[in-house]
Structure 1
Amino acid sequence: MTVTAERAIPFFAPDLFEADRDALLGALYEVGTDPEQKFILGRRTARLEDALRTRLDASDVVACSSGTSALTLILSAMDIGPGDEVIVPAFGCAPLASTVLSQGATPVFADVDPRALTMDPEHAEALVTERTRALMPAHMFSVMADMPRLRALASRAGVRLVEDSALAQGGVLAGRPAGRWGDAGVYSFVQVKIFGMPGEGGVVLTDDTDLAERVRMLRNHGQDGRNRFLHHHVGHNSRFDEVMAAFQLHRMAGLTERVDRRTEICSYYSERLADLADAGVVAPPVGGDGRFPYVYTLLCEDREGLRDHLAAQGIATHVYYPRILPEQPAFSEHACPGGHWPRASEAARRNISLPLYPHLSDARVEHVADAVRSFVHGSTR
């Protein structure tokens, strides 16, 4: 079967910001011609921080250059460094390990829950030692980590809780938004994220005002914002762009609507695919507490077969993290010798993600679900 470009369904939509083209061009012109000529960390960035602070009921929000940088700033502000250990999930993105190593500390890899694919609190507790300084769980795909148990573990162990909520904006667990469970949390604004933008950016969220003040200095070479060229710390260049701040302020008005549409698509997929588990295709449950609509991910025994089947029907998919962090060449020498992370390894072997973005039409969403079902049953219903 030949699939035309019009019928193809990409995984990464090339037109994410098409509806906001004029707003983006307007922001570029506004900032570029502003007599103030301030292109980073200006009044628009401050307004974005204020808007997110209000939306999330956080004591402080600090905008920075990326979600990865946000994690680095938090660890640096907490004085985590050589000789310290940070417990991170074995399944996830590279910054979970690289940001720890960039501070001279050691990542300690915990296995994951087999369904949520997030850090297993029981295994994490078994890894706590006198060198442990922090737990750094990450929310994964569309399910928040078990933050109540991890918060309790961090309190018992007397360690910091750094919440990698980079992709979980819109998630709420037990009435508390993603990013608001830890001593500090982060969001990423890279284009495919829930509150993505056409560039890099992120924020640190925290109720610890002293931590926020230090993060604010560290993002700008350790300078005091009131006294330029007065450097209190060895800092970083992690500053936020004024054009992107203006664009995000424009886009914030439609954020709830976009989250709702993504949630609707996730629910439809789960309803249509719920009965395929016995056939080796496991879908996330419909809705529920602690869910957010970033990426819709299945666990499939024959992942490559499903991927090829969907590709033949013009449906692009994506496999995240096909190798666990302790087996990555960059991190393997820091992993526990002889360590075993069976559930993380299964997640790496089986995960496959379906197209999910707000302007995906009902007809295309139905076509995706039909195609997954036809892979299992040989029919479209």
Structure 2
Amino acid sequence: MIPFFPPDLFEADRADLLEIMHAVGTGADQRFILGGRTAAFEDALRRRLGAADAVACSSGTSALSLVLSAMGVGEGDEVVVPALGCAPPAATVCALGAVPVFADVDPWRLVVAPDAAEAAVTGRTRALMPAHLFSVMADMPRFADIARRRGLRLVEDSALAQGGELGGTPAGLWGEAGVFSFVQVKTFGTAGEGGAVVTRDTGLGQDVRMLRNHGQDGVHRFVHHRVGYNSRFDEILAAFQLHRLPGLDARLQRRADIADYYTDRFADLADHGICAPPPGRDGRCFYVYTLLTEAREELRAYLAREGIGSHVYYPRPLPHQPAFAPYAPPNGRWPAAESAARRNVSIPLYPHLSDAQVEHIADSVCAFARLGREEAALQSHRAP
């Protein structure tokens, strides 16, 4: 079986992680959060990206909350978010008393469409929050232009995109602030939960740093300048991420190579009802590899029969979710998001897939396309 979520992501780092846990746990300073390891990890991220500041926090979701709060987004404000994707962009907006305004996505690239986002801007709009989705970065030059022309804040949800670049600019640095997620399956995942805010604005970074620790400034303990959050970073995970950082480029390269192979193999499958993501590497981040097909369940069943795991990330657009439907206009439609939610399916993409496994995955997708939907369904229901 080739699992979609591999259980052995950190198997090669087991001994190092145990050593780190022992070193932190027995350290003389007994500092388990926001210590020297966290500071070193933040500095390494900052230097790698060329950012003015990098602030490690408890999760990618928390990173969005910190940025929006630092920007003063609040009651009655509107923030334009994608109609397709994970819940945190909309949820963090709602939690601040603001209103998420859902914009449709590009039907092929699946990221929020700039024209749809600009059409959603009103006099109450405070910020744009485009998100990179699957393995494609949003059109950040267009969003930067819209934000400049319309006088809006620009928050880049780059939680899925660490390591991606668009036009030479790293994901996370196109907006006033960007966020990363270090949950284990992300491109720079860790053995737990974590995130970071990155920014070119030192003032914004300082505000985020204060908010992540209950509004304290890091100098005067128990002096709370603002109502903040408990979004502090773990010293064990900081040391673990520092340990894994030198190998990140090789892991990203392996992901990109696998994605290129898939794209080459699937280039002619559109006529067979399977649409591969856009080719190329500029503006790509290779977090997951996502296909579009009306025969999603048949393809998943066929892949399972071939010993291949698959995953459907977002089977329902956000404005159709019970939590967010009250914020959506009655009878609103997001046709591209609705179509993608019905048709998307992701196949395995992680660095330690072997060449033989990658070839088997590609062979199986191509075989399904050649068989046709009905025959594949019949084969999937036959006894092995």
TM-score range for the pair, normalised by the shorter chain length: over 0.9
Deviates further, 190-199 or 332-341: 332-341
The alignment of Structure 1 onto Structure 2 pairs a total of residues equal to 373
Contact 2:42 2:55 in 1 (8 A): yes
Q: Percent identity?
A: 67
| Structure 1 residues 85-116: Cα deviation after superposition (integer angstroms, max 9, x where no partner) | 00000000000110000000000000001111
Check if 1:34 corresponds to 2:27: yes
1:288 CA drift (Å): 3.1
Residue in 2 that maps onto 1:266: 259
Question: 1:72: Cα distance to partner?
Answer: 0.3
- In the alignment, residue 162 of structure 2 is paired with which amino acid? Q
Q: Which residue of the other structure, out of 162, 166, 173, is the alignment partner of 1:180?
A: 173
Judge conservation of contact 1:108–1:336 (CA < 8 Å) in 2: no
Once the 2 structures are TM-superposed, how far is the Cα of residue 289 of structure 1 from its aligned partner?
Answer: 1.3
Code of the residue aligned with 1:212 in structure 2: it is G
Q: Distance in 2 between matches of 1:42 and 1:337?
A: 49
Task: Give 1:52's aligned residue.
Answer: 45
**Consecutive unaligned residues in structure 1, runs of 5 or more:** 1-7
TM-score, length basis structure 1: 0.97
Secondary structure class of the residue paired with 1:369:
helix
Match of 1:249 among 229, 239, 242: 242
Q: Which amino acid aligns with 1:265?
A: I
Letter in 2 for 1:351: N
Distance in 1 of aligned mates of 2:356 and 2:53:
42
Contact residue 274 and residue 285 of structure 1 kept, 8 A: no
3-state SS of paired residue (2:265): helix
Tell me the distance in 2 between the aligned counterparts of 1:38 and 1:248.
Answer: 17
Distance 2:58 2:281 in 1: 32
Matched, 1:108 2:101: yes
Q: Which residue of 1 aligns with 2:270?
A: 277
Superposed CA RMSD: 1.1
1:17 to 10, 19, 22: 10
Letter of the aligned partner of 1:359 in structure 2? H
SS in 2 for 1:224: coil
Q: Does 1:348 align with 2:356?
A: no
Q: Is 2:112 aligned against 1:141?
A: no
Q: Which amino acid aligns with 1:249?
A: L
The structure 1 segments of at least 4 consecutive aligned residues displaced by more than 4 Å after TM superposition are none
Q: Is the 8 A contact 2:256 2:281 kept in 1?
A: no
CA shift for structure 1 position 77: 0.5
1:75 aligns with 2:61: no
Q: Which amino acid aligns with 1:145?
A: A
Q: Distance in 2 between matches of 1:337 and 1:146?
A: 28
Identify the residue that residue 377 of structure 2 maps to in structure 1: none
1:241 maps to amino acid:
D
Matched, 1:92 2:118: no
Structure 2 Cα separation of the partners of residues 246 and 70 of structure 1: 20
Partner of 1:62, secondary structure, is strand
